Chain A
């Protein structure tokens, strides 16, 4: 079997106040997989995501990315190899859009010409006009900013993408469009993606596999259809039913 893109074994994490954030986490993500991490707020899904790029250090257990232990790799080296997108985006306001996109290549020591070419390439990839590159992030709409966030994460050609509620702050139309476009990019670039979301519909529509967390434990893990199975935890079934119920109600109201 190939080396997993992500492997967490026996991971546990405590908040500074002693409350358990993650407990007994065992998780493997194969290269090329698109996995959605779902659960309510406080379920530990963001903490789990952040243990993968070392933003959060687990108390016990091992985390490995493509076979390399996270604890033994310098954090900045690790993070330059992993794309990271989150809801607040965090574009650097004092840099232009192109400089934002090419920040990780710059940290890696790419020369300016190569960085500029890469930024232009990525603007095209995320369907932004080329002239956006010279503008400050503040001049962009929310959807455009999130496209820049995705482009920045992809700039250094990572094989693994971590996404924390990446489309959460966008309006439903933009959100749907961006989600679909990202899924296409995932296929085209042969990425591995671990995405945190609280939106079950998004998880079902985008992911190959869904991991359900509750109170820091994995409650269910499988293909969306499998989680509706009778053997699944009732809470997991409940969660997965939600998009279906919603879809039925929509069909009734709008007329099929």
Chain B
């Protein structure tokens, strides 16, 4: 089998289990909320419009944004709970995903519930009153059974939507089938992206067909269909979620975090494999946003990950000065320990700095070798960046230091940013200095004579909770100073290149052997 495909299959039990757990929980919670709401709205026309309108409004929020919005909300709630009860909770991962998906599942169930109940023949409702049913008996014995086919159709729609949208839980730190898609997008591993799409589509279709069977059974009053569908759903969900049960029995495990690009996946694998070899159980939490990752570490939701000194210097400490590579690292080590109890284990030995890069022919034609030169011609050029660069303090510093004004700027997923340079959609990009594609594409990296870009040493960060964990520290300390920028570039290229791609785990193996 193709190694990419083999690697994808290897992760399927874990991703599928989380995906199913998340979808089932969201659907169950959604049902518990929307069914009583539908009954209330069907009884009181005055409640109907506001309920349906707010459910529709939620539906218009892009699902990714809905998921993202729950993170800061829960973070604030967790802080509040911490101050009130002395106990916080995790604002990352399962909880925000669950809440967002629950909200998302409400509309179809609510809408069909109201339509189903109000659609019951008024003569039958009058008969229910006439034979002496209480309002509760009327609801349970007449209205709900008669509305059941319509309600089941709503549940079916909600299930398909929820399973599809659950792939978007990955960026807020919840493992799902979306991990294939997001990781694949970063590493241009289209096998992985397709695998993720196919897996979630197959899951959605299976759920759709099984719930459809129940729906048909309810509509045609065929008990066998209902039982077959329900048994299929329960058994399928149980089998899919089984890997999580064995995991829970495993006891304490380390959580290794990674942001959302190839180098991070490789380094996370490198650390995870070392920890596993030392006998520890390891969970991986990948595709974290840059700001989310540090907060997750400080809160103890992940135990270890790699970040970059310049990022921490500007984004966490809020500094804009540049006292030099060593001073930044030293002050960072002291400050992060003091502020958050986070332990800086040390630098891996290479930098991954923001680097403005151009195609050699363009750079030569325009006579650009430094950021000073670039400022001169920038008003005629298009800047390509990753999605967060333009809102980062580093860009503000560079923009101010050189007076950079571009004709235009476009943001891309990092992978497509390099493509844009090749296709001429961008003239200059905010590349990363450890990226293998700089050497592979022979890109020109512009010098920074004014020292506006801070140093970006890759450092291993350990959470306050794990800072004193001897096994973790002893296992990972040998990595400090062990990776040169050339080695990292080569490893990155193995994952990012178009042909004979390696998985991050395989690329991590090449670093290990040095």
Inter-chain CA distance A90–B121, complex, in Å, is 8
Smallest distance from the beta carbon of B266 to chain A beta carbons, Å? 60
Chain A CB within 10 Å, residue with most, of B131, B133, B145 = B131
Interface residue stretch chosen among B86-94, B122-130, B294-302, B476-484: B122-130
> Are the C-beta atoms of B121 and A94 separated by less than 8 Å?
no
Q: Taking the complex as formed, is B337 at the interface, i.e. its CB lies under 8 A from any CB of chain A?
A: no
> Are the C-beta atoms of B124 and A79 separated by less than 8 Å?
no
Within 8 A of A (CB), among B71-127: 121, 123-127
> Are the C-beta atoms of A104 and B127 separated by less than 8 Å?
no
Residues of chain B within 8 A of A193, CB atoms compared:
none
> Are the C-beta atoms of A77 and B132 separated by less than 8 Å?
yes
Inter-chain CA distance A75–B132, complex, in Å, is 7
> Are the C-beta atoms of B130 and A90 separated by less than 8 Å?
yes
Within 8 A of B (CB), among A64-100: 75-81, 84, 86, 88-94
Q: Taking the complex as formed, is B134 at the interface, i.e. its CB lies under 8 A from any CB of chain A?
A: yes
A 158-175 to B, binary, CB cutoff 8 A, 1 in contact else 0: 000000000000000000
B 131-147 to A, binary, CB cutoff 8 A, 1 in contact else 0: 11110010000100110
Residues of chain B within 8 A of A76, CB atoms compared:
132-134, 137
Residues of chain A within 8 A of B123, CB atoms compared:
86, 88-90
Q: Taking the complex as formed, is A107 at the interface, i.e. its CB lies under 8 A from any CB of chain B?
A: yes
Q: Taking the complex as formed, is B221 at the interface, i.e. its CB lies under 8 A from any CB of chain A?
A: yes
Residues of chain B within 8 A of A45, CB atoms compared:
none
> Are the C-beta atoms of B124 and A107 separated by less than 8 Å?
no
> Are the C-beta atoms of A93 and B124 separated by less than 8 Å?
yes
Residues of chain B within 8 A of A84, CB atoms compared:
127, 130-131
Residues of chain B within 8 A of A93, CB atoms compared:
124, 146
Chain A CB within 10 Å, residue with most, of B121, B127, B129 = B127
> Are the C-beta atoms of A86 and B130 separated by less than 8 Å?
yes
Q: Taking the complex as formed, is A247 at the interface, i.e. its CB lies under 8 A from any CB of chain B?
A: no
B 302-337 to A, binary, CB cutoff 8 A, 1 in contact else 0: 000000000000000000000000000000000000
> Are the C-beta atoms of B131 and A103 separated by less than 8 Å?
yes
> Are the C-beta atoms of A91 and B127 separated by less than 8 Å?
yes
Q: Taking the complex as formed, is A152 at the interface, i.e. its CB lies under 8 A from any CB of chain B?
A: yes
Residues of chain B within 8 A of A81, CB atoms compared:
132
In-complex Cβ contact of A92 among B124, B129, B132, B134 (8 A): B124
Q: Taking the complex as formed, is A53 at the interface, i.e. its CB lies under 8 A from any CB of chain B?
A: yes
> Are the C-beta atoms of B132 and A94 separated by less than 8 Å?
no
Inter-chain CA distance A65–B137, complex, in Å, is 24
At the interface, is chain B mostly helix, strand, loop or mixed? helix
> Are the C-beta atoms of B132 and A55 separated by less than 8 Å?
no
> How many residues belonging to B are interface residues under a CB distance threshold of 8 Å?
18
> Are the C-beta atoms of B133 and A55 separated by less than 8 Å?
no
Q: Whose C-beta in chain B lies nearest to the C-beta of A107?
A: B132
Q: Whose C-beta in chain B lies nearest to the C-beta of A103?
A: B131
Q: Whose C-beta in chain A lies nearest to the C-beta of B121?
A: A90
Given contacts A90-B121, A94-B146, A107-B137, contact A79 B129 (CB under 8 A): yes
> Are the C-beta atoms of B146 and A104 separated by less than 8 Å?
no
Residues of chain A within 8 A of B145, CB atoms compared:
94
A 140-153 to B, binary, CB cutoff 8 A, 1 in contact else 0: 00000000000010
Smallest distance from the beta carbon of A85 to chain B beta carbons, Å? 8
Residues of chain A within 8 A of B128, CB atoms compared:
90, 92
> Are the C-beta atoms of B133 and A107 separated by less than 8 Å?
yes
Q: Whose C-beta in chain B lies nearest to the C-beta of A149?
A: B127
Residues of chain B within 8 A of A53, CB atoms compared:
130
Inter-chain CA distance A45–B357, complex, in Å, is 89
Inter-chain CA distance A91–B133, complex, in Å, is 14
Residues of chain B within 8 A of A88, CB atoms compared:
121, 123, 126-127
Given contacts A76-B134, A90-B123, A93-B124, contact A55 B146 (CB under 8 A): no
> Are the C-beta atoms of A90 and B127 separated by less than 8 Å?
yes
Residues of chain A within 8 A of B132, CB atoms compared:
75-81, 104, 107
Smallest distance from the beta carbon of B152 to chain A beta carbons, Å? 14
Smallest distance from the beta carbon of A115 to chain B beta carbons, Å? 13
> Are the C-beta atoms of A90 and B126 separated by less than 8 Å?
yes
Inter-chain CA distance A89–B131, complex, in Å, is 11
Smallest distance from the beta carbon of B107 to chain A beta carbons, Å? 27
Q: Whose C-beta in chain B lies nearest to the C-beta of A81?
A: B132
A 96-134 to B, binary, CB cutoff 8 A, 1 in contact else 0: 000000011001000000000000000000000000000
Residues of chain B within 8 A of A89, CB atoms compared:
123, 127
Smallest distance from the beta carbon of B220 to chain A beta carbons, Å? 11
Residues of chain B within 8 A of A103, CB atoms compared:
131
Residues of chain A within 8 A of B124, CB atoms compared:
90-93
Inter-chain CA distance A77–B123, complex, in Å, is 21
Inter-chain CA distance A80–B125, complex, in Å, is 16
Inter-chain CA distance A55–B130, complex, in Å, is 8
Smallest distance from the beta carbon of B132 to chain A beta carbons, Å? 4
Residues of chain A within 8 A of B134, CB atoms compared:
76
Q: Whose C-beta in chain A lies nearest to the C-beta of B125?
A: A90
Given contacts A92-B142, A93-B146, contact A80 B131 (CB under 8 A): yes
Smallest distance from the beta carbon of A123 to chain B beta carbons, Å? 17
Q: Whose C-beta in chain A lies nearest to the C-beta of B124?
A: A90
> Are the C-beta atoms of A79 and B127 separated by less than 8 Å?
no
Residues of chain A within 8 A of B127, CB atoms compared:
84, 86, 88-92
Smallest distance from the beta carbon of B238 to chain A beta carbons, Å? 30
> Are the C-beta atoms of B131 and A107 separated by less than 8 Å?
yes
Q: Whose C-beta in chain A lies nearest to the C-beta of B134?
A: A76
Residues of chain A within 8 A of B129, CB atoms compared:
55, 75, 79
Residues of chain B within 8 A of A90, CB atoms compared:
121, 123-128, 130
In-complex Cβ contact of B126 among A80, A86, A94 (8 A): A86
Smallest distance from the beta carbon of A101 to chain B beta carbons, Å? 10
Inter-chain CA distance A175–B300, complex, in Å, is 80
> Are the C-beta atoms of A55 and B131 separated by less than 8 Å?
no
Smallest distance from the beta carbon of B291 to chain A beta carbons, Å? 55
Q: Whose C-beta in chain A lies nearest to the C-beta of B146?
A: A94
6 of the cross-chain contacts (CB-CB < 8 Å) are: A55-B126, A80-B132, A86-B130, A88-B121, A94-B221, A152-B131
Q: A75-B132, A93-B146, A107-B132 are in contact. List 14 more A-B contacts (CB 8 A).
A: A55-B130, A76-B132, A77-B132, A78-B132, A80-B131, A81-B132, A86-B126, A90-B123, A90-B125, A90-B127, A92-B124, A103-B131, A107-B137, A152-B131
Query: Which A residues are within 8 Å of any B CB, using their own CB?
Result: 53, 55, 75-81, 84, 86, 88-94, 103-104, 107, 136, 152
Query: Which B residues are within 8 Å of any A CB, using their own CB?
Result: 121, 123-134, 137, 142, 145-146, 221
Top 5 closest pairs, chain A to chain B, by CB: A90-B127, A88-B123, A80-B132, A79-B132, A84-B130
